[in-house]
Structure 1
Amino acid sequence: MANITLKNIPDKTYALLKDRAKRNQRSINSEIIIAIRNHVLAEKPSPEEILAKAREFRSRIKVWLTPEEIEDAINNDRE
């Protein structure tokens, strides 16, 4: 396994990691490894998946407004 040395960790960040490690009954090292793993492995949707979800959402909308209608509604609400 590889080793990494972390330098210049802000005091507040270190305190939060320390508290989180204590709550989870882990060492600070283990808590950092888990935090890194969760961040790196977080599944992010592809652009295609985002577009597919947007298209699916739009297909359920029954009323379409033009940009001008949206702007008018915003301006009328401000008055």
Structure 2
Amino acid sequence: MYERLKAAAGLHRRSLNSEAIVCLEAVLLPNRTTADDRLARARELRASLPRGPFTAADIDAAKRAGRK
């Protein structure tokens, strides 16, 4: 188990201690969002998008907008 934890820590660029804490939190404090909640949120986000096709220029502009 130590070797697997060490490998995961390296993969995630964390210390062994930090990786152990993240793993414990994932098991002991699971995300309480239900599948229905996630689906509803995805539908809200989709509804907020403008209708019609996106162009490459639209996508580039959206990416740049978040980088200011």
TM-score by length of 2: 0.40
Q: Relative contact order (alpha carbons < 8 A, sep ≥ 6): 1 or 2 greater? A: 2
Greater Rg over alpha carbons, structure: 1
TM-score by length of 1: 0.37
